[in-house]
């Protein structure tokens, strides 16, 4: 693809209007959400959606999440049962994506759902994302704004590092406050299946539905975006649950017992702080010269720790 002149837009009325105009013309615009920056395109424009896959070098079998301004807009694209409606009422706007049956008259580009009869939908809480969605007045297909498989972006500079010259613009809305992608779930005849852990905790979701989240089957996971085995990966190798770093390795700590860590996700052991720092700290460590790997301290697997562990496990997976 020929290089584009990627421009930076400010998070004001003029910048939002310019971003919406670019999207209407079939362009690609990265924008902030409370989770990570998304790479937006008109979800009804097949050429624009194909351009997302090309810009990210994303496998075309990996479906996309669409972002809309509210539940009413979401119901134009998907069919919501009682459980999905209850979850939408409890968590939207916010870091939860719902996989629901695709409406036959949705008008979405087929590549959004990668051939499935379902679609993943989210209503972001970030005010800049909300302003853009209201200005655009339609659905945006928006995976994370990074090259496929690499560390997700939590600020505009991260997007430019990976996608400058490959997309039209970045709408700069500052740092993302959650720092991890959305949780993805789907209502099933037996309750709710967890497809991807993320910014909404499984405990909070279970409290709303009154039932534990079941494990996703291979059939269900094919319907969900963002489930490649190796993903969110820095260039360096990543090793997990390391209490003492090995020679020549960097150490990413967590909690008060990692005084010698190169960086500490949260010295006080706060999982929300750790989630917000995870991707940025992986990028910082990955940029250091003279080291061969990143060792990561143990992190509790509860609440947001489940999502952090999921991202770290895939960052540490063998590369394709």
Residue 212 has pLDDT above 50, yes or no: yes
pLDDT at 56: 95
pLDDT at 220: 47
Residue 148 has pLDDT above 70, yes or no: yes
Residue 279 inside a domain? The answer is: yes
Is residue 45 domain-shared with residue 174, that is, in the same domain?
yes
Rounded to an integer, the average pLDDT of 88-100 is 98
Residue 229 has pLDDT above 70, yes or no: no
- Of 164, 179, 194, the position where a domain reaches its end is 179
Residue 1 inside a domain? The answer is: no
Question: What tokens appear for 27 in the block?
Answer: 């362009």
pLDDT at 38: 98
How many structural domains compose the chain? 2
Residue 20 inside a domain? The answer is: yes
pLDDT at 217: 45
Is residue 166 domain-shared with residue 69, that is, in the same domain?
yes
pLDDT band at 218 (very low <50, low <70, confident <90, very high): very low
CATH code for the domain in which residue 75 is found: 3.90.870.10
Is residue 22 domain-shared with residue 166, that is, in the same domain?
yes
pLDDT at 77: 98
Phi, psi dihedral angles at 232 (to 5 degrees): 55, 35
- Of 179, 195, 212, the position where a domain reaches its end is 179
- pLDDT per residue over 153-186, tens digit each? 999 999 999 999 999 999 999 999 999 999 999 9
Q: What percent of the chain has pLDDT over 90?
A: 81
Residue 43 inside a domain? The answer is: yes
Residue 226 inside a domain? The answer is: no
- pLDDT per residue over 256-282, tens digit each? 999 999 999 999 999 999 999 999 999
Domain that residue 51 falls in: 7-179
Please state the pTM of the whole predicted model. 0.90
- Of 159, 179, 199, the position where a domain reaches its end is 179
Is residue 49 domain-shared with residue 147, that is, in the same domain?
yes
Residue 60 has pLDDT above 50, yes or no: yes
CATH code for the domain in which residue 251 is found: 3.40.50.11030
Residue 295 contacts residue 245 (beta carbons within 8 Å): yes
Interstrand relation of 191-196 and 183-188 (parallel, antiparallel or unpaired)? antiparallel
Cα 187 to Cα 123: distance, rounded to the nearest angstrom: 17
Residue 320 inside a domain? The answer is: no
**Three-state helix/strand/coil letters over the chain:** CCCCCCEEEECCHHHHHHHHHHHHCCCCEEECCCCCCEEEEECCCHHHHHHHHHHHCCCCCCCCEEECCCHHHHCCCECCCHHHHHHHHHHCCCCEEEEEEECCCCCCCHHHCCCCCEEEEECCCCHHHHHHHHHHCCCEECCECCCCCECCCCCHHHHHHHHCCCCCEEEECCCCCCCCCCEEEEEECCEEEEEECCCCCHHHHHHHHCCCCEECCHHHHCCCCCCCCCCCECCCEEECCCCCCCCCEEEEECCCCCCCCCEECCCCCCHHHHHHHHHHHHHHHHCCCCCCEEEECCCCCCCHHHHHHHHHHHHCCCCC
Rounded to an integer, the average pLDDT of 5-30 is 98
Is residue 247 domain-shared with residue 141, that is, in the same domain?
no
Residue 112 has pLDDT above 70, yes or no: yes
Least confident of 196-200, 246-250, 315-319: 315-319
What separation in angstroms does the CA of 91 have from each of 128, 205, 271, 316?
Answer: 18, 9, 19, 30
Residue 200 inside a domain? The answer is: no
Residue 190 has pLDDT above 90, yes or no: no
Residue 298 inside a domain? The answer is: yes
pLDDT band at 225 (very low <50, low <70, confident <90, very high): low
- Return the number of other C-beta atoms located less than 10 Å from residue 73's C-beta: 18
Is residue 254 domain-shared with residue 154, that is, in the same domain?
no
Cα 38 to Cα 41: distance, rounded to the nearest angstrom: 10
Residue 296 contacts residue 285 (beta carbons within 8 Å): no
Residue 10 has pLDDT above 90, yes or no: yes
pLDDT band at 115 (very low <50, low <70, confident <90, very high): confident
Cα 145 to Cα 159: distance, rounded to the nearest angstrom: 6
Give me the chain's average pLDDT, please. Answer: 92
């Amino acid at each position: 693809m020929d290089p584009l002149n990627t421009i930076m837009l400010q998070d004001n009325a003029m910048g939002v209007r310019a971003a919406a105009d670019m999207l209407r013309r079939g362009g690609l615009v990265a924008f902030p959400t409370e989770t990570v920056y998304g790479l937006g395109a008109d979800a009804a424009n097949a050429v624009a959606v194909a351009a997302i896959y090309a810009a990210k070098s994303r496998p075309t079998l990996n479906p996309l999440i669409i972002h809309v301004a509210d539940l009413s807009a979401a119901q134009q694209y998907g069919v919501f049962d009682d459980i999905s409606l209850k979850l939408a009422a409890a968590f939207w706007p916010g870091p939860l994506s719902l996989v629901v049956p695709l409406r036959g008259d949705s008008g979405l580009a087929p590549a959004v759902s990668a051939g499935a009869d379902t679609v993943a939908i989210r209503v972001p809480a970030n005010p800049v994302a909300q302003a853009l969605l209201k200005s655009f007045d339609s659905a945006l297909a928006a995976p994370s704004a990074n090259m496929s498989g690499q560390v997700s972006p939590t600020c505009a500079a991260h997007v430019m590092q990976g996608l400058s010259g490959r997309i039209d613009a970045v709408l700069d809305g500052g740092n993302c406050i959650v720092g991890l992608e959305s949780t993805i779930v789907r209502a099933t005849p037996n309750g709710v299946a967890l497809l991807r852990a993320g910014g909404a905790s499984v405990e909070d979701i279970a409290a709303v539905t009154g039932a534990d989240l079941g494990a996703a089957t291979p059939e269900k996971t094919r319907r969900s975006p963002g489930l490649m085995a190796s993903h969110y990966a820095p260039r360096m190798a990543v090793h997990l649950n390391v209490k003492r770093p090995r020679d020549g390795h960097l150490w990413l700590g967590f909690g008060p017992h990692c005084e010698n860590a190169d960086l500490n996700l949260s010295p006080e052991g706060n999982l929300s702080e750790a989630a917000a720092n995870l991707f940025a700290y992986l990028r910082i460590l990955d940029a250091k010269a003279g080291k061969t790997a990143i060792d990561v301290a143990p992190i509790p697997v509860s609440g947001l720790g489940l999502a952090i562990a999921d991202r770290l496990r895939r960052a540490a997976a063998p590369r394709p």
